[in-house]
Amino acid sequence: MSDMMAWPRKDGRKGIRNVVLVAYLVECAHHVCKQIARPFAETDVQVIGFSGCFPSDYGQQMMEALCTHPNVGAVQLVSLGCENFKKQQLADAIRASGRAVNLVTIQDTGGTAAAVEQGRAWVHDQLADLAAMPKVPMSVSELVIGTICGGSDATSGITGNPAAGVAFDMLIADGATCIFEETGELIGCEHIMAERAASAALRPEIIKTVNKAATYYAKMGYGSFSNGNATGGLSTIEEKSLGAYAKSGQSQIKGILRPAQVPQTGGLYLLDVVPDGPPKYGYPNINDNAEIIELISCGAHAVIFVTGRGSVVGSAISPVLKVCANPETYARMAADMDVNAGRIMQGADTLTGVGTEIRDKLLALGNGAQTASEALGHVEFVLTYKTASPAQPGCHPG
């Protein structure tokens, strides 16, 4: 299999994109970031940020992981000046990663107009520098791929999710790292997953992780099941879980990750996005975009998004490859989709055929191909308050 071409990073990882991030460190700086990025709409300049003013270890960890992601080439930070975010710590982490970083503090710079002018000038210069940056070969074994399903219906677990699982197995066989998540949508499948654990110590941790999600949602009084899921033909969370589980494929599960934790070896990992302890801030993930960002925080170069009813979102930083499970949805929304897995239901292809197409389209992203969501300009980003403790020792491979 031929190599992809990617941008090398100081830590040894490689990026299939070379994004300039404009990052706000409190909501009060969000508008300035949008104004800085506005003239660069036709380039890969993207706005991300953390909106809270109160301290957040989770927000800090996530921003440090995202701003040093292999798909990121340079970062323009924007602070109001009186928020609690540890901006110098973030800037130091970015600088230590070998990336260019600039920090604009609105209150010190002289206000909105001055901050926008300074930020735009810096981004302009960085785009020129990054354009001259040479690429190097990148093998499949260096890829990190995440998967999520959203806007699910009764077809998701029949076509799209199992096809994504086939793609995962193919990638893992070539040494890649693959991450699946949504423990709140894996309820009832925990014992099946435990049987796939790479170690005896990992088996009870997998069961504990899913049970934690069930308990958390029970305390909140609402599970990961939407009106759209029911309208689409799903009846229970267990039924939805079987479909969500299918996208993990059949490979051995090597470990459990938490947000912003980058796996050190290839293979299949489960991402646990549910906080430990009693509910503190609300639901673990308020929508699919938050889950995508947590997959990206673990180093995902790209994310497979399986949908039955139809979802139009993409994401900042990493491309989102949309796999449509329902042939009727694909017929209506083809311009937003990358793969028509619904043709399996029509007898026009097999799970292996569609899984191979998903794998091939992911590899094509490493040679300049765009996803539909990228071409349409989707760069959604959601990061809210949450607690995130490290995974337990039994969750790590080796």
pLDDT in tens, 96-138: 999 999 999 999 999 999 999 999 999 999 999 999 999 999 9
289 CB burial (10 A radius; 0-12, 13-18, 19+): buried
- In degrees to the nearest 10, what's the CA dihedral of 47, 50, 52, 54? -140
With contact defined as beta carbons under 8 Å apart, do 254 and 265 qualify? Answer: yes
215-258 pLDDT, tens digit per residue, is 998 888 766 555 555 465 545 555 555 667 889 999 999 999 99
- Helix (H) or strand (E) segment spanning residue 257: strand 253-257
Report the distance separating Cα 159 and Cα 208, nearest Å: 29
Q: State how far the Cα of 131 lies from the Cα of 78, in Å rounded to an integer.
A: 23
* CA–CA dist 27, 145 (Å, integer): 30
CATH class of 19-132: alpha beta
CA distance 376 to 253: 35
Q: What is the pLDDT of residue 52?
A: 94
Asked if 324 and 318 touch (Cβ cutoff 8 Å), the reply is no
Residue 84 has pLDDT above 90, yes or no: yes
CA diameter of the chain = 64
Q: So what's the pLDDT on residue 231?
A: 60
- pLDDT bin (cut points 50, 70, 90) of residue 185 is confident
CB 394 within 8 A of CB 202: yes
Mean pLDDT value across residues 354-379: 97
Domain boundaries, the chain: 19-132, 140-395
| 31-68: b (≥16 Cβ within 10 Å) or e | ebbebbbeebeeebbbbbbbbbeeebebbbbbbbbbbb
**197 secondary structure, DSSP code:** B
